[in-house]
């Protein structure tokens, strides 16, 4: 025993200490008799005593060997750890004769082991408590470990995550990103970072940074993968919000439609505040009615219930925010105490929504434009971050709406201007006289027939001016360079195909302080008026001729008188001449004088006849088939201006499908003109609110075209109505009294009838004439040959 380098003892079969070696006595600093009292004298550490007593007792009783880990007090009082091994020694019959005990000092090893265990526990604790989702995977990427935080966060047991099952908690939109990133890492054998959303136990997704790192063996082969996922939701949303703001400002700058900008704004807000819905309303010009609602995450019936409704303070937090021009934070829009029942509120609540935070959207100058609201189904405290999002997004909404209003107004003005230019055929231009560059409106391009994209330059345009007008147009330009304005005047343009356009131009020259000259002007295409005026002039002169001719017919008496006078002069002079020649001696001198007088009178008569012939040159009836409608229309056009001047409303009801008639177009136009001018004289002679003439052409009875001229003038007394067609009957101070008699004879010669009748249903008279239309006039009883 003494030779064994260790602490040894021999015990009796009942466990009493019988012998100890010197090493034990030296270690404990006790003799054998003291060592026998180990159960009570504190040699065994009191904390270990119960365990030692139990295990030792069991072994002695059962006769089985034991090993007990326990502390023994050293002579200096310090306890050290020992492994206490005890084995029974048996006799041949198997009975225990003694116990051999070996105490091995394991103190240092035990401390190291404990420290290791503690550090392992510590590590586990650390891994489980770090505020990140930690995991590890085998070399092939199949996951085998997830820390506690990971399991708690996703709310799933580890069995539901191992291998590749964990991808089920990645947002569907991000799964592709995650898998392709893994392939990249795996192929390169390097780690890396990606960002993706992970589903929390409550179903909401948050943004995480996924960091993956490989562990390699000494050959550089990947044996394991480790990784952490760090919650970056807040930063990510802030970045997304910033990126969203930038995109929104771009959309606004590009002039995208308002609804598109506001829809995008809603999605930016919803991405920044997960679990929230956003709606934006705009007001109409009166600022009292909701004109537009952008709410992409709301059902249509909600939007429909708001559009067109009036702002009513108690209808919703939005309405209140607009009415009071302040933010309204309502956590319980369901409260019937505060809010009135409206269809919109019912739809809102039916969606399971509860909370509505509304902010007014106002322009720079404080005009209210609309509202922006954030809605949720669950309660949420308004945090500074939320307020920041509300402030920033309402500002963008205000920029978008204000810009839209301004652009809308601009678009309207431009449209108006362009339409006005198109309708009036007037273009406008700006002329920088220093560079000779012109800026033209669209209509200007149309008038000068310069393609839209082509830049007009002054010299090129001069080439379009009619050669006959070139000189004075040039001079006008020269005067402009001296700072002189140009009043409206008409110049002609000549196009290569021979067309001529009449353009009335006018401009104003602006002289700047530095002497620079600019000019702003207009150009109106008056070709149509010009041609119409020319045509009207011609028509008027032809009508005048007919009047003259027909008047002469009626004035035949006075003409006869004119011819008779020289004729009786000739007869008288001839007989005087004969008398003078028959006298004795004949009065030759007197006879020559009287013969000369005869010649003079003869010439005078011939002159009268010649003039008469000239006047009658156009008298023949000139029948041709024509449309009375069109002919009447022409007459009305010629007197339209006159009617305007006299403030008379001239209405025409001309039947477009009228059959054609055959007759003298000019003479029938003369009749229409006579009737209309008479009617104008009549309505002009009374004071009335509305002076009216109605000209109507119809096929009243089969085979006849009827034209009526109805006025609301003073009418004609019954006793005079029979006389108005008489030649020289007139009631006007300057009247001739031949218009109606001439008209009646023209209509007679066309086989028709001209009648006058007092209106039965109002003041005034109606003149009517009917002319047989072509099919009828072709018959044997055709009337035009009466002429
Ligand atoms: P004038 O117009 O030169 O008088 P007309 O033969 O055309 O000659 O007309 C004869 C007269 O018939 C007129 O002076 C006028 O008294 C009468 N008259 C013609 N048309 C109308 C009318 N629409 N309403 C009232 N009186 C009319």
Ligand 1: residue whose CA is nearest its atom 13? 730
Measured CA distances, 776 to 338, 666, 722 (Å): 86, 21, 29
Query: How far is the centre of ligand 1, averaged over its atoms, from the C-alpha of 729 (Å)?
Result: 8
Query: How far is the centre of ligand 1, averaged over its atoms, from the C-alpha of 744 (Å)?
Result: 13
Q: How far is CA 702 from the centre of its chain?
A: 57
Query: Which of these three, 81, 113, 145, is where a domain ends?
Result: 113
pLDDT of 787: 26
Whether 361 is in a domain gets the answer yes
Most ligand 1 atoms within 8 A of CB, residue of 672, 682, 685, 740 to mutate:
740
Contact assessment for residue 508 and residue 518, using Cβ atoms and an 8 Å cutoff: no
Enclosing domain of residue 156: 130-231
For residues 468 and 508, state if they share a domain: yes
Give the C-alpha separation, 239 to 206, whole Å.
14
Query: How far is the centre of ligand 1, averaged over its atoms, from the C-alpha of 731 (Å)?
Result: 7
Whether 254 is in a domain gets the answer no
Name the residue with tokens 């009658």. Answer: 616
For residues 472 and 611, state if they share a domain: no
The closest-lying atom of ligand 1 relative to the alpha carbon of residue 731 is 14
Burial 114-133 (b: 16+ CB within 10 A, else e): eeeeeeeeeeeeebeeeebb
Query: How far is the centre of ligand 1, averaged over its atoms, from the C-alpha of 751 (Å)?
Result: 23
Instruction: For the chain, count helices (H), then strands (E).
Output: 22, 27
Burial class (CB in 10 A: 0-12, 13-18, 19+), 698: middle
Query: How far is the centre of ligand 1, averaged over its atoms, from the C-alpha of 769 (Å)?
Result: 16
For residues 508 and 547, state if they share a domain: no
pLDDT of 138: 92
The closest-lying atom of ligand 1 relative to the alpha carbon of residue 709 is 23
Strand partners, 90: 96
Coil vs helix vs strand at 101: strand
Whether 419 is in a domain gets the answer no
- Of 167, 397, 186, 129, the residue nearest 279 (C-alpha): 397
Domain count, the chain: 5
pTM recorded for the entire structure:
0.47
The closest-lying atom of ligand 1 relative to the alpha carbon of residue 724 is 12
Query: How far is the centre of ligand 1, averaged over its atoms, from the C-alpha of 718 (Å)?
Result: 14
Most ligand 1 atoms within 8 A of CB, residue of 674, 678, 679, 739 to mutate:
678
Ligand 1: residue whose CA is nearest its atom 8? 737
The closest-lying atom of ligand 1 relative to the alpha carbon of residue 711 is 23
Pairing of strands 426-432, 486-494: unpaired
For residues 607 and 707, state if they share a domain: yes
For residues 555 and 595, state if they share a domain: yes
- Of 174, 207, 189, the residue nearest 141 (C-alpha): 189
Give the C-alpha separation, 520 to 510, whole Å.
8
For residues 220 and 344, state if they share a domain: no
Give the C-alpha separation, 502 to 528, whole Å.
8
Query: How far is the centre of ligand 1, averaged over its atoms, from the C-alpha of 677 (Å)?
Result: 9
Query: Which of these three, 376, 409, 442, is where a domain ends?
Result: 409
Quote the tokens at residue 39: 């159960």
For residues 739 and 593, state if they share a domain: yes
Q: Any idea what the Cα angle at residue 768 is, between residues 767 and 769, rounded to 5°?
A: 135
Contact assessment for residue 374 and residue 366, using Cβ atoms and an 8 Å cutoff: no
For residues 606 and 694, state if they share a domain: yes
The domain that holds 727 is classified in CATH as 3.30.565.10
For residues 265 and 346, state if they share a domain: yes
Most ligand 1 atoms within 8 A of CB, residue of 714, 730, 745, 757 to mutate:
730
Contact assessment for residue 328 and residue 358, using Cβ atoms and an 8 Å cutoff: yes
pLDDT of 706: 92
Pocket of ligand 1 (CB under 6 A): 674, 678-679, 682, 711, 713, 716, 724, 729-732, 735-741, 765
pLDDT of 616: 47
Query: How far is the centre of ligand 1, averaged over its atoms, from the C-alpha of 622 (Å)?
Result: 27
Whether 182 is in a domain gets the answer yes
Whether 536 is in a domain gets the answer no
Residues of the chain with pLDDT under 50: 616-618, 776-787
Whether 123 is in a domain gets the answer no
For residues 53 and 180, state if they share a domain: no
Query: Which of these three, 473, 493, 523, is where a domain ends?
Result: 523
Whether 290 is in a domain gets the answer yes
Quote the tokens at residue 545: 């001729």
Backbone angles phi, psi at 650, to 5 degrees: -105, 110
Give the C-alpha separation, 4 to 101, whole Å.
12
Quote the tokens at residue 533: 């005026």
The closest-lying atom of ligand 1 relative to the alpha carbon of residue 740 is 6
The domain that holds 274 is classified in CATH as 3.30.450.40
- Of 124, 26, 116, the residue nearest 75 (C-alpha): 26
For residues 471 and 570, state if they share a domain: no
Contact assessment for residue 292 and residue 372, using Cβ atoms and an 8 Å cutoff: no
The domain that holds 158 is classified in CATH as 3.30.450.20
Give the C-alpha separation, 463 to 472, whole Å.
14
- Taking the CA atoms of 315, 318, 323 and 326 in sequence, report the sign of the dihedral they define: positive
Asked if residue 338 has a cis previous peptide bond (ω within 30° of 0), the answer is no
Whether 586 is in a domain gets the answer yes
The closest-lying atom of ligand 1 relative to the alpha carbon of residue 729 is 10
Query: How far is the centre of ligand 1, averaged over its atoms, from the C-alpha of 652 (Å)?
Result: 21
For residues 404 and 444, state if they share a domain: no
Summarised one tens digit per residue, pLDDT across range 397-436 is 999 999 998 888 899 999 999 999 999 889 999 988 888 8
pLDDT of 255: 86
């Amino acid at each position: 025993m003494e030779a064994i380098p260790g602490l040894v003892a021999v015990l009796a079969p009942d466990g009493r200490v019988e012998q100890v070696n010197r090493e034990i006595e030296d270690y404990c600093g006790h003799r054998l008799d003291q060592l026998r009292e180990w159960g009570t004298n504190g040699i065994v550490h009191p904390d270990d005593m119960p365990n030692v007593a139990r295990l030792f007792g069991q072994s002695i009783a059962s006769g089985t060997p034991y090993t007990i880990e326990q502390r023994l007090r050293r002579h200096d009082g310090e306890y050290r750890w020992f492994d206490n091994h005890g084995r029974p020694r048996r006799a041949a019959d198997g009975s225990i004769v003694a116990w051999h005990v070996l105490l091995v000092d394991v103190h240092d090893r035990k401390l190291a082991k404990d420290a290791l265990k503690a550090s392992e526990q510590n590590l586990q604790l650390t891994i489980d408590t770090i505020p990140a989702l930690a995991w590890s995977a085998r070399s092939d990427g199949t996951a085998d470990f997830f820390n506690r935080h990971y399991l708690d966060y996703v709310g799933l047991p580890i069995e539901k995550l191992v291998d590749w099952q964990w991808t089920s908690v990645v947002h569907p939109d991000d799964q592709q990103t995650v898998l392709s990133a893994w392939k990249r890492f795996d192929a390169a054998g390097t780690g890396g970072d990606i960002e993706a959303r992970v589903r929390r136990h409550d179903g909401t997704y948050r943004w995480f940074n996924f960091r993956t790192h490989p562990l390699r063996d000494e050959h550089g082969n990947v044996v394991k993968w480790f990784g952490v996922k760090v919650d970056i939701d807040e930063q990510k949303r802030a970045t997304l919000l910033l990126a969203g703001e930038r995109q929104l400002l771009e959309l606004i700058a590009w002039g995208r439609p308002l609804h598109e900008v506001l829809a995008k704004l809603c999605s930016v807000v919803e991405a920044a505040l997960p679990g929230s819905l956003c709606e934006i309303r705009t007001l109409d010009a009166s600022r009292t009615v909701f004109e537009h609602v952008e709410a992409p995450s709301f059902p249509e019936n909600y939007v429909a219930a708001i559009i067109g409704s009036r702002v009513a303070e108690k209808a919703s937090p939005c309405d209140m925010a607009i009415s009071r021009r302040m933010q309204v934070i309502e956590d319980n829009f369901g409260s019937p105490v505060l809010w009135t029942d409206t269809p919109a509120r019912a739809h809102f609540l039916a969606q399971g929504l509860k909370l509505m935070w509304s902010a007014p959207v106002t322009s720079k100058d404080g005009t209210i434009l609309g509202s922006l609201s954030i809605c949720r189904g669950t309660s949420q405290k308004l945090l500074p971050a939320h307020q920041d999002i509300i402030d920033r997004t309402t500002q963008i909404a205000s920029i978008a709406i204000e810009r839209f209003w301004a652009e809308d107004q601009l678009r309207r003005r431009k449209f108006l201007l362009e339409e006005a230019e198109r309708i009036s055929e007037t273009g406008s231009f700006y002329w920088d006289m220093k560079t000779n560059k012109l800026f033209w409106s669209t209509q200007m391009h149309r008038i000068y027939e310069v393609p839209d994209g082509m830049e007009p330059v002054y010299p090129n345009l001069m080439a379009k001016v009619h050669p006959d007008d070139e000189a004075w147009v040039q001079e006008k330009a020269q005067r402009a360079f001296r700072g002189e304005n140009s009043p409206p005047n008409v110049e002609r343009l000549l196009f290569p195909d021979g067309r001529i356009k009449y353009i009335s131009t006018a401009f104003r020259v602006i002289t700047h302080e530095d002497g620079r000259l600019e000019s702003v002007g207009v150009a109106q295409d008056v070709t149509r008026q010009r041609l119409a005026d020319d045509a009207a002039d011609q028509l008027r002169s032809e009508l005048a001729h007919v009047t003259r001719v027909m008047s002469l017919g009626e004035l035949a008496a006075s003409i006869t008188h004119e011819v008779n006078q020289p004729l009786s002069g000739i007869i008288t002079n001839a007989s005087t001449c004969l008398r003078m020649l028959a006298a004795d001696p004949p009065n030759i001198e007197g006879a020559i004088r009287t013969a000369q007088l005869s010649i003079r009178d003869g010439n005078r008569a011939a002159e009268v006849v010649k003039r008469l012939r000239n006047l009658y040159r156009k008298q023949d009836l000139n029948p041709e088939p024509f449309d009375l409608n069109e002919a009447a229309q022409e007459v009305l056009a010629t007197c339209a201006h006159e009617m305007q001047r006299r403030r008379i409303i001239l209405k025409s009801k001309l039947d477009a499908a009228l059959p054609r008639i055959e007759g003298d177009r000019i003479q029938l136009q003369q009749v229409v003109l006579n009737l209309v001018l008479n009617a104008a004289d009549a309505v002009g002679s009374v004071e009335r609110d509305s002076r009216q003439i109605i000209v109507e052409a119809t096929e009243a009875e089969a085979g006849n075209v009827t034209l009526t001229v109805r006025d609301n003038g003073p009418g004609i007394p019954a006793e005079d109505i029979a006389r108005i067609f008489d030649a020289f009957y007139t009631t006007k101070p300057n009247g001739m009294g031949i218009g109606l008699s001439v008209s009646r004879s023209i209509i007679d010669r066309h086989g028709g009838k001209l009648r006058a009748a007092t209106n039965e249903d109002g003041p005034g008279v109606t003149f009517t004439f009917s002319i047989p239309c072509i099919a009828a006039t072709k018959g044997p009883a055709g009337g035009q040959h009466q002429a």
